[in-house]
Amino acid sequence: MTHLSGNPPRRNRLARLRRERAGFSLLELMVSIALVLILILGINQVFGLSSRTVGAGQALSEANRDGRNAQSIFFEDARGASSALSDAPCLIIRSQGVYAFRNKADLEADADQNPATQDLQGDGKITTFRSYDVNERRHRLDQLFMFARGVNHRQTGTGGSFGDVGSSFESYIVYGHLQLPDNASPPGYRYPGDSTPGNGNAVSNSTPANWQTQNPNNYFATQWIVGRSVFLLDAAPPAGTAFYKRAITDKFSPLAPFSKATTGELLTDSRYDLCETSLDTYRQTIAFDDGPLAKFWQGLTAGPTAVAPARFLGNPTPPRPLTSADAARAVPCFLRGCTQFLVEYAGDFCTQDPMTGLVTSLQPDGIIDYIFDPPLKVGDPVIKKKVRWYGFPRDVTDDGTVDARQDVVPLAHFVRNSDTSSMVADVPSAFPVWERVVPSSSYPTMPPDDYFLAAWGPDTQNGPKPTMIRITAVLDDADGRIAAGQSFEYVLKLQ
């Protein structure tokens, strides 16, 4: 049959409509889904990168903020210490290093789970860090003990009070890393980097297998907190006020670490900030020498073991409901995430040959002890000097050795031009400063928990004292938002 009209047959129109309304093929759907997934992944990467960048920026900002805030406090304390330096009972620097992982990611990425060793280049060659190294595995936890003049106000209270009214013009200030609480109830307080079951005060880092149960909040270096413990001195504390009291059985009380308060707490418990003594009284008390095991630096720094120093308790996040005792332990928390805290000193302790820099006399020459920078060489037209810093041996030049001409060394090492006789040799009192020193020949093999101590007290009252103290602090982020900690250096002038 022939159709005379111009319209197509009905079935042809339906077929054409079906073709026009046909969906995507399977191949087209797969391509579309793949493109959407790629787009989503790209967007996710952009947002992730932006988030990490913002996080790193915030972490750097927080570190810089904390570093700047610390500067004003350091300088204020230095001014107070300068005012009291001529007749202060003593000034003590105690330096010690520990091995520790930077954070959990550092631990999980380490093949042998040993913080003292690391595959630095990823080539299977293991580097063992030395006791005088300072890096992300070898950390310095130095302490500074000093007396100061200047008004300080009470920040702790008796009983249920959160802050007793009062102030003092004399104070005893201690800087150093704090013991932090674990998650037990009631909490136990643990030393930085220690995971030893039971005691919680080991200096050397123990097996990481125990950290989650033994020391979850103070094991990794980025968790550590440097404390600033300030104790007001008052020879006659107000009636009705709790304070750390003098004890006949302990000549170093009430400032010895285990001195007791009128309510029974120890000085290291960080419960109160008032002590029953004064600068003059305490200086006269510690001036009496009761033998080689009763030196003032031993009385003020001795901890629970021969090598573990006394450390104060702190808790930056006290539990709720808040009590006055918990609030008091938040007071010492000063620098969070402080993975390095180094204290070194400089001053005029000897006479040096201006051409060679060698020591010619143990008498001060009116010039702060110096080193040549760059090292003195034959033919050098200009000799540039810079301040010589003393303290725990430190490889400043990063050449793998400790050289007295350029690196930080104990004062005794520099002025003697020879090794001291034993690992625990004390420089005689005729020397300007008491030091617990390590023979320079033993620096490469120093035990990991060995320590350095320098102290000035009644027996060196008329001798030279530090002109400056240098504090180096590295502030890091516990969440790993920055690649490395930020270093801050503070030079505090005492004279």
Range among 166-175, 205-214, 245-254, 447-456 rated most confident: 166-175
Residue 1 lies in a domain: no
Closest CA to 405 of 348, 468, 341, 352: 352
Compute the radius of gyration of the chain from its Cα atoms: 31
Residue 177 lies in a domain: yes
Q: Where does the pLDDT of residue 430 fall: very low under 50, low under 70, confident under 90, or very high at 90 and above? A: very low
- Residue 316: the pLDDT is 94
The tokens of 488 are what? 């801050």
Q: Is the pLDDT of residue 426 over 50?
A: no
The chain-wide mean pLDDT, for the chain, equals 83
Q: Determine contact, residues 338/316, Cβ cutoff 8 Å.
A: no
High-pLDDT (> 70) share of the chain, %: 84
Residue 444 lies in a domain: yes
Residue 28 lies in a domain: no
Backbone angles phi, psi at 190, to 5 degrees: -120, 150
Summarised one tens digit per residue, pLDDT across range 406-416 is 889 888 777 76
- Residue 427: the pLDDT is 43
Residue 17 lies in a domain: no
Q: Where does the pLDDT of residue 85 fall: very low under 50, low under 70, confident under 90, or very high at 90 and above? A: confident
Residue 299 lies in a domain: yes
Which domain covers residue 199, as residue numbers?
Answer: 49-493
Residue 137 lies in a domain: yes
The structural domain count of the chain equals 1
Residue 166 lies in a domain: yes
Give dist(CA 183, CA 219) in Å, integer.
Answer: 13
Q: Where does the pLDDT of residue 84 fall: very low under 50, low under 70, confident under 90, or very high at 90 and above? A: confident
Give dist(CA 396, CA 355) in Å, integer.
Answer: 23
The tokens of 216 are what? 């979850």
Residue with tokens 């003990």: 145
